[in-house]
């Protein structure tokens, strides 16, 4: 059974998808890596971003972290500035 999770998008991730948030169906027990695979399939240009970080509930997440439908998930692109 797939459960949708909401993913907030910032910076270039928002530009590449044309949205500030997307809903992604993931199966129970899905991990961050599974979510990224789904996003890369739906939005192939995202796979070209180096150093893309994922935050779950305000904390940076490892790729093996398990997700739940109640998690607040955000894609954090690399930041540059001067």
CATH of the domain at 19: 3.10.20.30
Asked whether the beta carbons of 65 and 55 are under 8 A apart, the reply is no
- Residue 73: phi and psi, rounded to 5, are -115, 140
User: Does any domain span residue 82?
Assistant: no
In a domain, 81, yes or no: no
65 falls within a domain: yes
DSSP assigned state of 20: S
Output the pTM of the full model. 0.90
In a domain, 35, yes or no: yes
The burial class, CB within 10 Å (0-12 / 13-18 / 19+), for 51 is exposed
Task: Kindly report, residue by residue over 10-39, the tens digit of the pLDDT.
Answer: 999 999 999 999 999 989 899 999 999 999
For 32-80, the pLDDT digits (tens) are 999 999 999 999 999 999 889 999 999 999 999 999 989 999 999 987 6
Q: Is 53 among the domain residues? A: yes
Range of the domain at 72: 2-76
Number of domains, the chain: 1
């Amino acid at each position: 059974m797939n459960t949708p999770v909401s993913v907030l998008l910032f910076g270039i991730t928002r530009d590449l998808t044309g949205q500030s948030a997307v809903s992604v169906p993931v199966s129970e027990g899905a991990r961050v890596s599974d979510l990224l695979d789904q996003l890369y399939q739906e939005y192939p240009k995202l796979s070209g971003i180096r150093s893309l970080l994922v935050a779950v509930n305000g904390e940076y997440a490892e790729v093996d972290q398990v997700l739940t439908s109640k998690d607040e998930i955000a894609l954090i692109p690399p930041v540059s500035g001067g």
